[in-house]
Every structure is written in structure tokens, then in C-alpha cells.
């Protein structure tokens, strides 16, 4: 009868496009990687922490043999070193040798470097044991060192929480660290201190978890719209249209910063060159005066020097005039000579461009950076922010609000199901309520009120003093939104029908003539996440709104053209992606939720 054989664990597959094993595939197994013990793997990562274990010196083996006969010759031979030592003392050699022994460096004691490395694939890290015969501890132990090692997975050799470790027998790569200049250390650093080292901060466990959650939110975004029949459309970053009409945009031009030093009023010769020639001409005049031999040559040299001096004076006066006008140069630029032959801007919104594609394709969305040149110190806004925007043809305000709530529920549920380990770490390290908050949106109700109702509720808050007085027609700011969501309704809130002056020109005018069909979705902790609207489809009303807002009609001729020919009811929204990362991670400042933040006065890296 054949004996039953224990099934052999399948060998661990290599990462695609890399000749190493991703640490997450080892450490996130149900058994913690125990089933992989004995397998040979190649792993790579960056040292998060380390310690050195020194080996005990090997003692000489004791003589276990029995007694044996020893001859007189053997006794003398065994004592010979002793006699030689006595002779050396009398000869003065012993002290010399003793001094040499104290000067010569002792060989390093054999040791093992115990490295805790992470490759960014997950929260967990792997212990890698590196013998000093493979690599000196001073090279592999500093925090931030990159190590690529090959070895055998084994049971932990030291007591600890680990279930598996790698004993390296080959070191394939070491990326050393300059410890004096490397900004990270073994100690936990506050997030604000890491902002000036945005290129290194993803090596910290917290920022790495935030970025993995951000990636999952991105994947969830595309999944939701693809599953619901939306087409992905890339809208331009550079545009001639101020899409919101509020003027807080960055202008794009190639006319500023031109090198004018090579263009002057003296045939291309620089002013400095002319000034240098004056010294030479002055020397020539002095030499002619001393020689007193050629009066005509002297007169010509003096006249030449005079003309050159006058030229320098004229050029200096022109330079001074140009520098005085440099402050107003941008206001007098000839944009017909610019790269695009007209004024262009970094886009603040892609919804107008999306509407043109929704008018042909039905349902479209875009995902990309949007730019606002507001000098804000808000912890929830940046100059460059990522937004999800969409437009739905043949839809009205209620349709867009329904899509917004479905979208928020979907992405919160997605990361609850797909970011378990990172969310556990975030709830332990950053905010213990993060899981409850996500579950709250994924399964809880949304409250709907009009802007007028919101103002009435805020006015009744006698016990609360707001810095900005609440009046109808005033934009609700962060303190108003926080009070409504966190203290009054205690749930996500949709505020609709805002005053027309607070919303872009293209939002549909309501029958009362004072409000427009716009809505904001506000959630606890971070405030407004979504701004949406039904768009104005009536050509005459849209044209009047552009004029009423004081906008240049020429900028919007192409958009007006959409409403001259086959106009359709459209609605949509702009979703602020970065504040959602704050909501999902418990962070308080959006600069910590963005890989490379761009804010007023700050554009590092």
C-alpha cells in the first residue's frame, strides 16, 4: 500500500516585470508565510529599522583523549615557548611586541545584521538576516538603505511577533545612505516635518498607507463609471475659457522671462562691452597726450571717446526706463505673439468641455488636475487639485444628485473591502474612527435641504457665534458646513438651489430668478466633496447670464454654439478627490494626502 504524501506547497511566483518576490505575497498569506518556509526567494526593499547581533567567539575544542606517555623531549618542546619568552624579556623585545599589539586594530567581531525591510507593497515588513561576511553592518543597517537579497525563508531565529524571516546567502544590491543628510530616521516624524521631503516621505509607513488608499480610491472611481456606462474623456489642461467665470486662474504664456540681454540698441553689442572699450580708449588718449607727436590722432581719439561715453549714457537711460516698466509688462503683452496667439489658462474645471461630448456620447467623465490661483490657507484646498467630473445628457438636477450619492457609497464600500490592512493601520496610527466614518457613508442616509433652509437653521443657532455672519446670499464656508453636518444633522448633507451669484454662469436659472439648480454634497470632517448642477440649456438665458456676469463673450462662443444647435438637458458634478482621501484616512491637512502638493508659496520638488 502506497503511503500518502503531504501536498507540496507551490513555489512562490516572481513579480511580473521584476526578478523578486513582492513582500505582500509572503506576509499577507493566511498563515503569515509559514507555508513558504524552506523556499529560496529574492526580495528587495528599504531598511526601516535594524539591529546587530554579535556572534559569540568559538572556544577551542577540549582535549577529550585519555592519558598518554610523554617523553622528556616532548616536555622540553612544550616548554620551549616559555623559555623563549624569558629570553625576549631580557633582550628587551617583549615590551616592543606588547606595544605593537595594542596599536594594531583588532579584527571586527563576526555579527549578523537583522534588517526590517519594506518594499511598499503592504503595511507589514520582513526580517532579513545578513551575515557580516556578506556585507558589513555599516553598509546595510542605516535606515533607508536599499537591499536586494537572495536566501531561504525560515522560522524566526529570535523571539518576536514575526512568523517568518529570510536568511540571506547572497546580497545582489546595496543602495547606501548618507546618514548625515538622509531626512528620515528610526523615530516617527510628524507629517508636517516631512512636507519639505516629499520625495522621501512615501518610505514612511503612514504615507505609504495613505498612497495605497489613494490608489484604491482612483481604481474605485474608474470602476464605478465604467460599470455605469460612462465613457472616459480627457479634457484639456490648457484652455482659452475661464470655465467658472470667477477669474481665479493661472495664465499660460511664453512671453515672460525672455532674455533681453542679447537684444539692444547698439547692433547686438552689450552695454558691458561698450563700457569696457571706454577704458581702452581713455588709455589711448593718455598715451597720445604724453607723446605730443600727433595732434590729429589725439583729436580723433578724444572725439571717439566722447561719442562712446555719450552712447553709454543713452543706453543706461533706456535700461532704467525698461526696468521701471517691467512691473506692468504682463499687462501690455501682445498675446498675438504668444505660443497660442491668444490668452490661455490652466483649467479650473472641465465640465464645459465634457458637456460638448455628453451632447454626442450621452454619459462622460474625466479625472485629472484642476488649478485655482486663490491665496488660501485652508487645510482642504490646494492650487493644484485632482477632480472627477462628469456630464449626463438628458438628465436634470435630481438625476445628478442620485449619481453623486451612489458614487460616494460605492467608493467608500470599495476601500472598506480592498484596503483592510492599510485601514487597520490608519485607524491605529492616525484616526480610530476612520472605519466607522467610511461605513457611515457606505450604508447611511443623506439629508437634503435647500440653501434657504440651511441659512434659516444657521440663523437659529443662537448659542454658536460664527466668524462670518450668516445672511441669505452669503457663501457658506467651512465653519457653517461643519456646524450643519457635525452638530445639527450628523450625516452627509446635500444643499441645493443656491443663489445665482454664488455659482458659475452656466448653471440653470430657476423660476424664481434668484436661485440656480446647483447642489453641494457636504460630509462630516472635510466639508464639501461634490459641487454639481443642472446646466442651462436655453440659449437666450445663457447668453444673458454671460453678459450679466461681466465675462468676455468671445471666450464662450464655442460653448454658446452648443446651445444653438441641438441643445440637450445636461447635469453633472465636480468631485474633489483630495478631500476624500482626508476623509478616508483621518488626516487633517490635504498637503499630507497628495504626493507632491502645490499650495500658495510652496512648490517644492
What pLDDT, on a 0 to 100 scale, did the predictor assign at position 325? 53
What pLDDT, on a 0 to 100 scale, did the predictor assign at position 258? 56
Averaged pLDDT, 321-328? 54
Averaged pLDDT, 141-145? 95
Q: Is the pLDDT of residue 11 over 70?
A: no
What pLDDT, on a 0 to 100 scale, did the predictor assign at position 269? 57
Residue-wise pLDDT for 20-66, tens only, equals 999 999 999 999 999 999 999 999 999 999 999 887 765 555 555 55
Q: What's the CA gap between 220 and 143, in Å, rounded? A: 34
* Pairwise pLDDT comparison (72 vs 464), residue with the higher score: 464
Q: Is the pLDDT of residue 80 over 70?
A: no
Averaged pLDDT, 202-217? 96
pLDDT band at 79 (very low <50, low <70, confident <90, very high): low
Maximum alpha-carbon separation in the chain: 130
Averaged pLDDT, 226-250? 89
Residue-wise pLDDT for 113-127, tens only, equals 999 999 999 999 999
Query: Where is average pLDDT lowest: 148-157, 242-251, 511-520?
Result: 242-251
Closest Cα to residue 434, out of 457, 415, 453?
A: 415
Q: Which residue matches cell numbers 434659516?
A: 456
The answer to whether 572 and 358 are in contact (CB under 8 A) is: yes
pLDDT band at 7 (very low <50, low <70, confident <90, very high): very low
What pLDDT, on a 0 to 100 scale, did the predictor assign at position 25? 92
Q: What's the CA gap between 306 and 584, in Å, rounded? A: 76
User: Cell numbers of 568, please?
Assistant: 440637450
Averaged pLDDT, 121-147? 95
Query: Where is average pLDDT lowest: 28-37, 181-190, 592-601?
Result: 181-190
Q: Is the pLDDT of residue 81 over 60?
A: no
Residue-wise pLDDT for 371-422, tens only, equals 998 887 788 889 999 999 999 999 999 999 999 999 999 999 999 999 999 9
What pLDDT, on a 0 to 100 scale, did the predictor assign at position 86? 52
Q: Is the pLDDT of residue 538 over 90?
A: yes
The answer to whether 143 and 176 are in contact (CB under 8 A) is: no
Q: Is the pLDDT of residue 96 over 60?
A: no
| Alpha helices in 68-190, H assignment, sequence order | 72-91, 93-103, 137-140
Strand order of the sheet with strand 447-450? 231-232, 363-371, 384-393, 570-576, 527-534, 515-523, 493-499, 447-450
pLDDT band at 261 (very low <50, low <70, confident <90, very high): very low
Q: Is the pLDDT of residue 247 over 70?
A: no
pLDDT band at 104 (very low <50, low <70, confident <90, very high): low
The answer to whether 41 and 13 are in contact (CB under 8 A) is: no
What pLDDT, on a 0 to 100 scale, did the predictor assign at position 322? 61
The answer to whether 245 and 505 are in contact (CB under 8 A) is: yes
* Residue 441 neighbours by CB distance under 10 Å: 23
Q: What distance lies between CA 263 and its chain's CA centroid? A: 41
Q: Is the pLDDT of residue 523 over 70?
A: yes
Residue-wise pLDDT for 484-519, tens only, equals 999 999 999 999 999 999 999 999 999 999 999 999
Task: Tell me the angle at which helices 205-227 and 577-585 cross, rounded to the nearest 10 degrees.
Answer: 120
Q: Work out the percent of the chain whose per-residue pLDDT is above 70.
A: 82
Q: What's the CA gap between 282 and 309, in Å, rounded? A: 10
What pLDDT, on a 0 to 100 scale, did the predictor assign at position 411? 97
Task: Tell me the angle at which helices 434-443 and 420-429 cross, rounded to the nearest 10 degrees.
Answer: 130
Averaged pLDDT, 262-283? 64
What pLDDT, on a 0 to 100 scale, did the predictor assign at position 294? 66
What pLDDT, on a 0 to 100 scale, did the predictor assign at position 293? 58
What pLDDT, on a 0 to 100 scale, did the predictor assign at position 590? 92
What pLDDT, on a 0 to 100 scale, did the predictor assign at position 98? 52
What pLDDT, on a 0 to 100 scale, did the predictor assign at position 434? 95
What pLDDT, on a 0 to 100 scale, did the predictor assign at position 463? 81
The answer to whether 530 and 411 are in contact (CB under 8 A) is: no
Closest Cα to residue 442, out of 590, 232, 583, 588?
A: 583
What pLDDT, on a 0 to 100 scale, did the predictor assign at position 321? 63
Cα-Cα-Cα-Cα dihedral sign, residues 71, 73, 76, 81: negative
* Pairwise pLDDT comparison (428 vs 80), residue with the higher score: 428
* Pairwise pLDDT comparison (481 vs 86), residue with the higher score: 481
Averaged pLDDT, 128-154? 96
User: Cell numbers of 81, please?
Assistant: 615557548
Averaged pLDDT, 166-173? 96
Could you write out the DSSP letters of every residue in 206-274? HHHHHHHHHHHHHHHHHHHHHHTTPEE-PPPSEESS-SSSS----EE-SSTT--GGG--SSTT--HHHH
Q: What's the CA gap between 130 and 174, in Å, rounded? A: 12
* Pairwise pLDDT comparison (118 vs 306), residue with the higher score: 118
Q: What's the CA gap between 392 and 228, in Å, rounded? A: 11
Q: What's the CA gap between 311 and 317, in Å, rounded? A: 10
What pLDDT, on a 0 to 100 scale, did the predictor assign at position 363? 98
Backbone angles phi, psi at 63, to 5 degrees: -80, 110
User: Cell numbers of 537, please?
Assistant: 440649456
What pLDDT, on a 0 to 100 scale, did the predictor assign at position 505? 95
C-alpha distances out from residue 395 to 227, 296, 390, 447, 534, Å:
18, 93, 12, 21, 8
What pLDDT, on a 0 to 100 scale, did the predictor assign at position 65? 54
Q: What's the CA gap between 48 and 142, in Å, rounded? A: 9
Could you write out the DSSP letters of every residue in 318-368? HHHHHHHHGGGGGGG--GGGSTTSS-EEE-S--HHHHHHHHHHHSEEEEEE
| Radius of gyration (C-alpha) of the chain in whole angstroms | 38
| Alpha helices in 419-556, H assignment, sequence order | 420-429, 434-443, 451-459, 478-482, 539-548
Give the chain's mean pLDDT: 85
Q: Which residue matches cell numbers 448633507?
A: 493
What pLDDT, on a 0 to 100 scale, did the predictor assign at position 320? 67
Amino acid at each position: 500500500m502506497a503511503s500518502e504524501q503531504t501536498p507540496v506547497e507551490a513555489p512562490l511566483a516572481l513579480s511580473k516585470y521584476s526578478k523578486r518576490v513582492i513582500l505582500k505575497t509572503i506576509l499577507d498569506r493566511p498563515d503569515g508565510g509559514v507555508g513558504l518556509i524552506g523556499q529560496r526567494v529574492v526580495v528587495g526593499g528599504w531598511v526601516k529599522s535594524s539591529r546587530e547581533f554579535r556572534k559569540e567567539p568559538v572556544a577551542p575544542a577540549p582535549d577529550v583523549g585519555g592519558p598518554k606517555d610523554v617523553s622528556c623531549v616532548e616536555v622540553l618542546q612544550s616548554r620551549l615557548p616559555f623559555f623563549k619568552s624569558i629570553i625576549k624579556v631580557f633582550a628587551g623585545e617583549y615590551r616592543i611586541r606588547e606595544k605593537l599589539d595594542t596599536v594594531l586594530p583588532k579584527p571586527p567581531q563576526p555579527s549578523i545584521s537583522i534588517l526590517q525591510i519594506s518594499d511598499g507593497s503592504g503595511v507589514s515588513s520582513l526580517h532579513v538576516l545578513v551575515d557580516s561576511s556578506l556585507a558589513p553592518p555599516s553598509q546595510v543597517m542605516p535606515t533607508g538603505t536599499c537591499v536586494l537579497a537572495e536566501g531561504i525563508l525560515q522560522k524566526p531565529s529570535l523571539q518576536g511577533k514575526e512568523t517568518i524571516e529570510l536568511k540571506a546567502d547572497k546580497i545582489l544590491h546595496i543602495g547606501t545612505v548618507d546618514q548625515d543628510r538622509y531626512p528620515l530616521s528610526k523615530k516617527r516624524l510628524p507629517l508636517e516635518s516631512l512636507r519639505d521631503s516629499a520625495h522621501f516621505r512615501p518610505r514612511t509607513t503612514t504615507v505609504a498607507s495613505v498612497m495605497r488608499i489613494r490608489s484604491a480610491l482612483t481604481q474605485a472611481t474608474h470602476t464605478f463609471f465604467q460599470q455605469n456606462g460612462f465613457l472616459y474623456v480627457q479634457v484639456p489642461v490648457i484652455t482659452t475659457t475661464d470655465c467658472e467665470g470667477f477669474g481665479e486662474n493661472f495664465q499660460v504664456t511664453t512671453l515672460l522671462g525672455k532674455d533681453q540681454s542679447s537684444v539692444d540698441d547698439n547692433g547686438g553689442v552689450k552695454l558691458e562691452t561698450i563700457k569696457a572699450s571706454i577704458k581702452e580708449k581713455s588709455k589711448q588718449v593718455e598715451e597720445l597726450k604724453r607723446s605730443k607727436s600727433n595732434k590729429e590722432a589725439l583729436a580723433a581719439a578724444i572725439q571717439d571717446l566722447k561719442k562712446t561715453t555719450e552712447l553709454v549714457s543713452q543706453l543706461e537711460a533706456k535700461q532704467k526706463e525698461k526696468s521701471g516698466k517691467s512691473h506692468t509688462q504682463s499687462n501690455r503683452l501682445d498675446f498675438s505673439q504668444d505660443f497660442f496667439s491668444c490668452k490661455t489658462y490652466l483649467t479650473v474645471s472641465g465640465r464645459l468641455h465634457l458637456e460638448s461630448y455628453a451632447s454626442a456620447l450621452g454619459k462622460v467623465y474625466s479625472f485629472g488636475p484642476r488649478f485655482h490661483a486663490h491665496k488660501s490657507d485652508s487645510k482642504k484646498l490646494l492650487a493644484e487639485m485632482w477632480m472627477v467630473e462628469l456630464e449626463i445628457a438628458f438628465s436634470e438636477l435630481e438625476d445628478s444628485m442620485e449619481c453623486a450619492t451612489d458614487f460616494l457609497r460605492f467608493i467608500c464600500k470599495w476601500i472598506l473591502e480592498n484596503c483592510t490592512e492599510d485601514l487597520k493601520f490608519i485607524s491605529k496610527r492616525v484616526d480610530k474612527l476612520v472605519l466607522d466614518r467610511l461605513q457611515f457613508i457606505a450604508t447611511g442616509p443623506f439629508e437634503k435641504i435647500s440653501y434657504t433652509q440651511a441659512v434659516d437653521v444657521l440663523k437659529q443657532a443662537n448659542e454658536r457665534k460664527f466668524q462670518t455672519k450668516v445672511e441669505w446670499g452669503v457663501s457658506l464656508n467651512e465653519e457653517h458646513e461643519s456646524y450643519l453636518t457635525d452638530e445639527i444633522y450628523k450625516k452627509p448633507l446635500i444643499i441645493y438651489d443656491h443663489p445665482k451669484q454664488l455659482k458659475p454662469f452656466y448653471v440653470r436659472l430657476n423660476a424664481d430668478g434668484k436661485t440656480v439648480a446647483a447642489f453641494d454634497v457636504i460630509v462630516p470632517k472635510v466639508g464639501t466633496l461634490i459641487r454639481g448642477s443642472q446646466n442651462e440649456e436655453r440659449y437666450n438665458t445663457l447668453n444673458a447670464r454671460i453678459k450679466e456676469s461681466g465675462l468676455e463673450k468671445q471666450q464662450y462662443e464655442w460653448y454658446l454654439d452648443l446651445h444653438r444647435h441641438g441643445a440637450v438637458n445636461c447635469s453633472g458634478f465636480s468631485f474633489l478627490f483630495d478631500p476624500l482621501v482626508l476623509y478616508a484616512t483621518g488626516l487633517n491637512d490635504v498637503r499630507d494626502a497628495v504626493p507632491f502638493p502645490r499650495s500658495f508659496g510652496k512648490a517644492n520638488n
